[in-house]
Amino acid sequence: MEPTPEKQPIKRTVRGVAMQLLPWVVTAALVGYLVHTTDLSRVWATVRRVDVGLLVLYSVLTIAVTYLIDTFSLKLAFSRFHHPTSMGDLLPVKAASYLLNILNYNAAAGSIALMMKVRREVPVVEGLGTMLWISVLDLAILNLLSLGGTYFVSLEGGTLWIRLMNVAIIGAFVGSLIYWNGGFDFFVLGRLRSWRVFNGFRVASLVDYAAIGAVRLALIGVYILSNWLVLPLFGILIPLHVLLVFVPILTLINVLPISVSGLGTGQVVMRVLFSSFVVLETAQHTRALTDPVVDAFSTSFIVVQLFFRIALGLTCLPLVSRDIKRRQAAALKASTEARSD
């Protein structure tokens, strides 16, 4: 039986509320699982042994460098696909987006598109398309790194599955290049070329992929290096080439909008990946002893970085807000004068 017209809006509202609550429910469930299955006293003992000064230093340096590199890559993309854009245009926008990044990466990307609509008159759909193009590029780079890393480290039965996933995603990316840059329509997909959301794909040349891809690779490299520096503070010694596999996997998982800011999902996967690299003072090496150490690292590093990103976002948000109001007021004044003429 079809729902009546009166019930359809209610049904859509309930579905929308459920979809908004789902990440919070998943996060609560995962955090509850982590708390229930770890030794909190060992977690706290591990945190107390950490050099807090170095942890804060590495975190601040990581945020500062990735903030600048990420913003520079956005400048290149928006300047290439839309209008000439300066770092000054994008630095406060990127910082303000960190506040929505608390929810998930996609919400932050959407906020950048909306703010660029006001600041640089970039159509929202095309702005979203530019963020989508960057995400696809990141996905390809992460999978290339992961695939290369699997030849330097064995993940037992998981290596084959990771390689299959990597090859499938890289293959889809190559297919995208053939479609957009090679002009092959794959029989029925030619109509996508006119969709505004794919403006970035339509405009981007292979040189754009290489140039902006190099900047995004540097961004991912900083994240890998920061993990390599911070992990030993907690007594977790993972070779750099192994992190070439682990960090891309964790990044892919954290980007998925299934929990708030990736909380819970990343920590559960870190337990599986990092536990065998924990250095213990005892000859015993069980998950009961290693998981609290991994939990101490994952929780501390995430919380410290979230704190500084939120502080940066709150600092820049008033600048963006005032600029948006000023531009809206100017647009309203111009519209009013045009009507009066």
The number of beta carbons lying within 10 Å of the beta carbon of residue 242 is 19
- Who contacts 127 (Cβ-Cβ below 8 Å, separation ≥6)? 78, 82, 112, 113, 114, 116, 117
DSSP element (H, E) containing 46: helix 40-49
pLDDT tens-digit profile of 69-112? Answer: 999 999 999 999 998 889 988 999 999 999 887 766 777 888 88
- State whether residue 236 is helix, strand or coil: strand
pLDDT at 292 over 90: yes
The number of beta carbons lying within 10 Å of the beta carbon of residue 313 is 21
Average the pLDDT over each of 7-21, 47-61, 132-146, 315-329 and give the range with the smallest value: 7-21
The band of 23, judged by pLDDT with boundaries at 50, 70 and 90, is: confident
pLDDT tens-digit profile of 200-253? Answer: 999 999 999 999 999 999 999 999 999 999 999 999 999 988 898 888 888 888
Amino acid in position 58: Y
Distances (CA, A) of 60 to 168, 238, 313: 36, 22, 14
Task: Tell me which residue of 117, 143, 253 sits closest to 196, measured CA to CA.
Answer: 117
Residue of higher predicted confidence among 332 and 269:
269
DSSP one-letter string for 199-216: HHHHH--HHHHHHHHHHH
The band of 51, judged by pLDDT with boundaries at 50, 70 and 90, is: very high
Q: What is the pTM of this model?
A: 0.85
Average pLDDT in the 119-135 region? Answer: 90
Share of the chain above pLDDT 90, in %: 43
- Who contacts 302 (Cβ-Cβ below 8 Å, separation ≥6)? 261, 262, 263, 266
